[in-house]
Structure 1
C-alpha cells in the first residue's frame, strides 16, 4: 500500500534534483508527504507579508545608501526590481488571503517556493556584486549587514521549506563570495567565514524546524484520525442502538443533544440546547409505586451539581401522560488546570428493561400458582419485622396454616382441582390479611401469615379464628364441591422469641399440637411444646442409634386356648430400655419410627429376631409379629419372610403376621397380591384391633384372614355394657361363620374369661394370662403351662 512506502527522496536511484525538491521529507510516507507539505507551504504563506515588507524596506534603505555611489544606477535598478516583485507578491497574497489553505500540496509547490526564493536572493546577491567594489567602508558595512540580515531572515522565514531556505541562503552566499573575492584583506576573509557559519546554522535550524513540524503535523493527523474514528463510532452507535448522547457545559446547560435524544424529547435541538439539563428532561411528578431507588428532579440536580462522574442513574420521566424510566451516565470533564468544564454523557430508555426486571423480581418472591409471597419474600419481610421490633418494639405474630383433608381433594378432584382450591384459599387469605401483613405459601397446602399484631397477641388469635370459620365453608370448584379445614399454629414475637428460625419452629410446634388435638383449630405456642419437641428430637436421634447398635429388645405375651388354657401363640412386642432415659413406651417411639422411616428396618429386625427365638418352641406354639403399613407395602417383605423361615428351618404355619384395618383402607393391587402370596406360603394372617378403625365387612369378603383379634376396648366393658357384650358376641359368631379363629385382647378378670368361653372365643390374651416377658421367661412359662393350665382354668 502506498501509505506504507516512503517518499521518493528515500528511494534508491532517485535523481539528486528530486532528492533536493524533497529535502526535509525523509521518513514520511507517500500519504503523509502531501499533507505535511501543504502545512509547510501554508506557514510560509502566512509569513509572506512580513517577508515582502522586509524586502521593500531593505531595498529602499540600500537605494538611499548608494544614492551618490558610482554604481547608483545599477543599485537603483536592482532595488526597484526587488520592490516591484515584493509589491506584486503582496498584492497576490492579499487577494488570496481568504481562500482556505489546501489540505494537500505537490512537489510543484515546493519548486515554486524555491524559484521565488532564488529570484529574490539572486537580486540581493546581484546588489552585493555590483555595489561592493565601488562602495565606501560605510556602504560596505551596509551591504554586509543587508546580506547577513536578509540571509538570516529569509532562511528562517523559509525554514519550513528546506529547499527554498537552502536556495535563498546559497544564492546570497554566492553573491557574497563573488563580492569578497576581490578583497584581499583579512576583513573579507573573516566576513566570508562568518557568513558560512551563519548560513550553516540557518540551514541546520531549518531542517530541525521542518522535523519538529513534521512530528506536530503527524500528531495532529493522528488526533484528527482518532476524532474521525470516534465520530464514526458515535454515529454508528447512535444509528444502531437505542442510546443517545448529550453534553452539558460548566453551567450545567445542555450544549449538545444527539438526534436520538431530540427524538426521545420530541423536540428540535434548537429548543433544548442552552437549557439547564434539569429543565430539558421531562421529570415525572408521580413515581411508579413498585420502583425503588429512582431519582427525581431534585436528586438529579444534586447529582449534576456535585460535578463528578456518575453511572446508571435512573430517573422517572413522563411523556404524553405515560411514565417511563431513563438511565443516565456522564463523565465530568476538566481542563488542564483541573477546572470543571462540563459533562459528556449517554442516556437510554430502560422502561422495558426495568419492567422485565420487576417481573423477574416478582416471580422470584411470589408463588407461581397462587401469586402470594413465597419463602424468599417471607424471609425478607420477617427480617424487616425483627428489625422494627428491635428498634421500635413493634410486635408481630406468625400464623402457620396447614389445610386439613387436602389429600382427599386431590384424590377426588384431581391435581387441577387441588390447584384451583389452593388459588381460592390464597385469595381468601389475602382478603382477610391486613395491609401490613405478609401472606406466603411455603409449598403444598402450607401457608404462613406474618401478622403485624403489635402488642396484642390476641389479634393473631382473632385472625386465626376468622380463617378457620371461613375455610370451613364449602368451596365450589369446577369439578364439584370440596370441603377442607385448616389447622393453625401461632408464635408471637417477642413473647415466643425474636429469631426468625426460632419463631418458625415454634409456630410449627403449635401447628403440630393443633393437628394432634383434632385439627380444624388453632393453638398458641407454649414452652411445654418446646420440651415435647426436644424430647421427640432426642428420641429420634437415640432411636436411630439403637437400631444401628441393636439395643432394642423383644418381649413375648402368651395367647392361650380359651377352653384348655394351653399356650398356642405368643405375640412379639418391641421394647426399648434406654440406658439414660429408662424404659420408653412403644406408644411414644413407634410413631416417631414411622415418621422417620426407621420402622422398616426395625420391623425387619423384629421379624427375623422373633422367628430366630421361636424356632425352638414346641411345634404347636406360634409366634405373632405386628407389621406396619410401610413395612407391609415394602416389595421386600415376602422374600424376607421366606428367607427368615428357611434360615431357621421353621414351618410357615407357625408364623402369624398381624395387620391393621388402616392398611386396608387404601387397598391397592399390591396389598392384595402380598396377602395372597403370604397365604400361599402358609403364613397365617391376623386382622388386629378389629372394630376400632374404619371397619368394613367388605374387608372380610375381599381378603382372606386366619384370625380376628377383638380390641381390648370392647372386652373391658363387656361385663357392664350389654351393647359391648353384643358386639363381642357378634364378632365371635362372624369369625366362626367365616371359618376364622378369634382372639380377645386385654382380658384381665376371671369373669371376662368365663363370658368369652361361653361365647365360644378361641384364644385369650391379657394380664389374666400373663404380662409380656422376656424370651427366657417365656420359655420357662411354656414349661410350667401344660402342667397347671387345667388346674388354673378349671
Structure 2
C-alpha cells in the first residue's frame, strides 16, 4: 500500500526527530547507547539544582533592573514563570538524588531533556523578544548580559546531552536574532555576533564532550568486563587449581585463604584465622632429603618479618609422615599511607617437581654408565676441597687412575664387555673408597678419587694400595674372566699445588711415570716429573719448528757382508742437533713426534731424503729406513714411498723398510693391505729387533719378510753366553730355511764378528764396522771399503 503525502511527511519528521535525539551516539551499539545515555542524563540531573538556582538568580536581576519601568508587571509575570519552573525542576532533582543510578536510559529521557531545554530557553528568548525594544539602554545591557550568560551556562550544563544543549542554544539564539536583527546601533550588532559564536561553541563542545564520554564509558565497560572475567577465573582457580591462596594482616596473622589451603593443612577456618602463619604450616624439624639446606618455620618467620615480597621460597614440611616441599610466593601490601599492610600469597606442593629437578641435577653430575661422578661433579668437589684448604687448612690428595690392559679386554671380549667391566670396576672403587672420598670418571677407563685427610700423603698411600690390590683380582664377566690392573698418579695439596689445574696436571705426570715403570702401581708426584714435563713440552715446541724448517739431519750406518766385508746396505738414522739443547736422542724425540702427530711428516721426509741420497751410491748398496707403527695409521705412507722412488730414480729393490714386531700386533686390514702394496712396489721389508718383545713364528708365515735383524741384546754376550749363541744360531738357521737373509746388530768386537761369520749370518752391523756418520763421511767410507774389497779379491 502506497504511503500518502501527509503520512510520509510525518514519518520523515519522526525519523529526523529520532536522528536528532541520537546525536553523539554514532558508532555505538544499542547496549552501549542505552548505558552511555543514562550516564549523560545523570550528569545533567546532577547539575540541575545549580542550573535552576542560576535561573532564579538571573530572573531576579532582570526584575530588579525593571523596577521603575512601565514593563515591570510583565517582567514580574515572566519572572514568576521562570522561578516556578526552576523550583519545581530543582525540587524534583533534589528528591531523585537518593534513588540508585539507572544503568540504562531510553530515547524518552533524551526527549524529555530536549522539551525541558526548549521550554526554558523559550522563556529566556521571550525576555529578549518582548522587552528589548521597550527597555532603555541600561536595561538592554542587562537583558543581553543575562541572556548571553544563560546561553553559555545552560548550554554547558546540558552539554552531555547534545540534543538538549543544541535546542537550548538555538532557541535562545533565534530569539536574540529576532530581537537584534533590526538593531542599527553597533552594540546590537556585536551582541548578535556574540550570540551566534556562543551557540556554535556550545554545539561543538557538546558533541566533543559526548565523544569523550563515550570513550571513557567504553573503557569502564571493558574494565568491568575484565574484572568479571578475572573474578570468574579467580573463583574457578580457587576451586580447582593445585595452588592455594592466602592473605596475612600487618601482624602476619592469617586473615583469608582459599578452600584448598585448609584442605592442605587439615584445619578449619575457625582454628586457622588469626594465628601466625608459620605456626600453621607443618614445617619439618628434621633434614629434608630433597633440599640441601632445609628451610623451616624459623626461616619462614624471618622471611615474613622482612616485610618484602618474595618468590619460590621452598620449605620442607611433613605430610602423612613423609617429607614434602612447598613453594611460597607472596607480595607485600601497603595501605594508602604507604605502610605495610600484610601479604597476599600463593603456595603449591612442588615435591614431585623438586624430586625431578634433583634427579636431573644428579644425572648432570654423574656418569650414566657407572653412576659415579663425572667431570662436572669432580670440578665442583675440587673447588669445595680447595675452599676448605684455604679456610681451615684441610689437606687432600688427588688420585688419578688409569686401568691397565683395558684395551685388550675391549679387543678380546667386545665393547659391551668393556662397559660391563667399567661398571664392575666402579663398584669395586666405590667399596674401596667409602663414603668419605669422592669418586668420578673422567671418561674411557680413567677415574679420579679426591681423598681428604690431614696426613694426606700417608693416607693416600694406604688408599692407593687398597685400590691396586682390589683391581688386581680377576673380574668375572658374562663373556669370560678379565684380568686388569691399575696405574695411579697421586698429587697432594698443598704440597703439590693449591689449584685444580696444577693438581690435575701433576697427578697426570705421576700417572705417566707409574705406567712407564711397569703399571699396576702408584706413583707420587715429585719435582723431577715437572722438570721432565717441561723439557717434553719444550722439545715438542722446538720439534715442530725443526720439522717446519727441515733442520733435522740424517746419519748413516753401514751393514757389510760377513764374508768379504763389502757394504751391502746402509741404515739411515735420524738426528737432531738443537742450537741450545744440543744433540737430542731419537729415543727422546721420536716418541714425542708419534704422540703429537708429527711422525708421518717426519717419516715421509726421511724416506725422501734417504732415497735422494742413496741414488748417488753404488748400485749394489741399499738404503734401509725405519718405519714407525704410527705411520701405518693413515693412507699417506704408500704414496710417500712411491713418490720418493719416482722423484729420486732409486730402484725399489734398493729401498729396504724396517718394521718392528709391535706393528704386527695390530691385526687390522689397513696394516696388511699397506704392507702388501709396498711389497708389490718391489721394496724390501725387514723385521727389526727380532727375538725381543712379542716374537712369534706366526708372523713369518703370515708376512713374507726379506730380512730378519737379530737384536743386539743377543749379540752383546754371544762370546760368553751359550744360550745367546744357541738362540742366534737357531734364528740364523730358521732364516736360511725360509730363504730370508739375516743381519746382526750391535757387533762391537772381533770375537762377535768371527762367531756370527761362522754361524752363517750374512750381514753385520755395529761400531766395529762403522759408527753412524754424515753423508759425506759415508761416501769416503764406501770408497775405502770398495777399494779394500778389490784388493782382497786380487789377492
Q: What TM-score do the two structures reach when normalised by structure 2?
A: 0.77
Please tell me whether residue 309 in structure 1 is matched to residue 280 in structure 2.
no
Please tell me whether residue 497 in structure 1 is matched to residue 492 in structure 2.
no
Q: Is the 8 A contact 1:409 1:482 kept in 2?
A: yes
Aligned to 1:250: 249
- Mapped to 1, the partners of 2:626 and 2:326 lie a distance apart of 73
Aligned to 2:226: 229
What's the offset of the Cα at 1:565? 1.3
Equivalent residue runs for 1:165-244 within 5 Å: 203=154, 206-207=157-158, 222-223=219-220, 225-233=222-230, 235-236=232-233, 239=236, 242=241, 244=243
Aligned to 1:373: 373
Structure 1 residues 245 and 193: alpha-carbon distance in aligned structure 2, compared to 1, 3 A threshold: farther
Q: Is the 8 A contact 1:404 1:484 kept in 2?
A: yes
Equivalent residue runs for 1:532-571 within 5 Å: 532-571=532-571
Q: Is the 8 A contact 1:165 1:206 kept in 2?
A: no
What's the offset of the Cα at 1:284? 3.6
- Mapped to 2, the partners of 1:190 and 1:663 lie a distance apart of 128
Equivalent residue runs for 1:138-537 within 5 Å: 203=154, 206-207=157-158, 222-223=219-220, 225-233=222-230, 235-236=232-233, 239=236, 242=241, 244=243, 246-251=245-250, 252-258=252-258, 261=261, 272=272, 275-292=275-292, 295-537=295-537
Tell me the matched-pair count. 705
What's the offset of the Cα at 1:304? 2.7
What's the offset of the Cα at 1:420? 1.1
3-state SS of paired residue (1:341)? strand
What's the offset of the Cα at 1:22? 8.0
Q: Is the 8 A contact 2:43 2:160 kept in 1?
A: no
Aligned to 1:159: none
- Mapped to 1, the partners of 2:343 and 2:26 lie a distance apart of 40
Aligned to 2:706: 706
Q: Is the 8 A contact 1:328 1:346 kept in 2?
A: yes
Q: Is the 8 A contact 1:555 1:775 kept in 2?
A: yes
Q: Where in structure 2 are there 5+ consecutive unaligned residues?
A: 1-11, 51-79, 162-205
What's the offset of the Cα at 1:400? 0.4
Equivalent residue runs for 1:625-774 within 5 Å: 625-774=625-774
Aligned to 1:585: 585
Q: Is the 8 A contact 1:409 1:418 kept in 2?
A: yes
Q: Is the 8 A contact 2:34 2:104 kept in 1?
A: yes
- Mapped to 2, the partners of 1:649 and 1:193 lie a distance apart of 130
Aligned to 1:152: none
- Mapped to 2, the partners of 1:370 and 1:518 lie a distance apart of 27
- Mapped to 2, the partners of 1:307 and 1:792 lie a distance apart of 113
- Mapped to 2, the partners of 1:596 and 1:337 lie a distance apart of 75
- Mapped to 2, the partners of 1:208 and 1:702 lie a distance apart of 115
* CA offsets 1:40-84 (integer angstroms, 9 cap, x no match): 77799999999xxxxxxxxxxxxxxxxxxxxxxxxxxx9xxx9xx
3-state SS of paired residue (1:327)? strand
3-state SS of paired residue (2:158)? helix
What's the offset of the Cα at 1:297? 2.6
Q: CA RMSD in A?
A: 4.4
Q: Is the 8 A contact 2:456 2:492 kept in 1?
A: no
What's the offset of the Cα at 1:330? 2.9
* CA offsets 1:681-708 (integer angstroms, 9 cap, x no match): 3222211111012111111122211211
Structure 1 residues 46 and 201: alpha-carbon distance in aligned structure 2, compared to 1, 3 A threshold: closer
3-state SS of paired residue (1:369)? coil
3-state SS of paired residue (2:456)? coil
Q: What TM-score do the two structures reach when normalised by structure 1?
A: 0.78
Structure 1 residues 227 and 442: alpha-carbon distance in aligned structure 2, compared to 1, 3 A threshold: farther
* CA offsets 1:332-361 (integer angstroms, 9 cap, x no match): 333333233333344444333333322222
What's the offset of the Cα at 1:243? 6.1
Q: Is the 8 A contact 1:394 1:455 kept in 2?
A: no
- Mapped to 2, the partners of 1:705 and 1:764 lie a distance apart of 18
What's the offset of the Cα at 1:641? 2.2
What's the offset of the Cα at 1:614? 0.8
* CA offsets 1:121-156 (integer angstroms, 9 cap, x no match): xxxxxxxxxxxxxxxxxxxxxxxxxxxxxxxxxxxx
Structure 1 residues 572 and 189: alpha-carbon distance in aligned structure 2, compared to 1, 3 A threshold: closer
Aligned to 1:594: 594
Q: Is the 8 A contact 2:570 2:621 kept in 1?
A: yes
Q: Is the 8 A contact 1:328 1:345 kept in 2?
A: yes
Q: Where in structure 1 are there 5+ consecutive unaligned residues?
A: 1-11, 51-77, 115-161
Task: Pick which of 488-497 and 727-736 moved more.
Answer: 727-736
- Mapped to 2, the partners of 1:659 and 1:190 lie a distance apart of 132
3-state SS of paired residue (2:414)? helix
Structure 1 residues 328 and 221: alpha-carbon distance in aligned structure 2, compared to 1, 3 A threshold: farther
- Mapped to 2, the partners of 1:168 and 1:273 lie a distance apart of 62
Task: Pick which of 781-790 and 480-489 moved more.
Answer: 781-790
What's the offset of the Cα at 1:525? 0.3
- Mapped to 2, the partners of 1:680 and 1:260 lie a distance apart of 87
- Mapped to 2, the partners of 1:331 and 1:223 lie a distance apart of 27
- Mapped to 2, the partners of 1:734 and 1:747 lie a distance apart of 21
- Mapped to 1, the partners of 2:665 and 2:135 lie a distance apart of 145
What's the offset of the Cα at 1:384? 1.6
What's the offset of the Cα at 1:16? 9.2
What's the offset of the Cα at 1:289? 2.8
- Mapped to 1, the partners of 2:787 and 2:758 lie a distance apart of 24
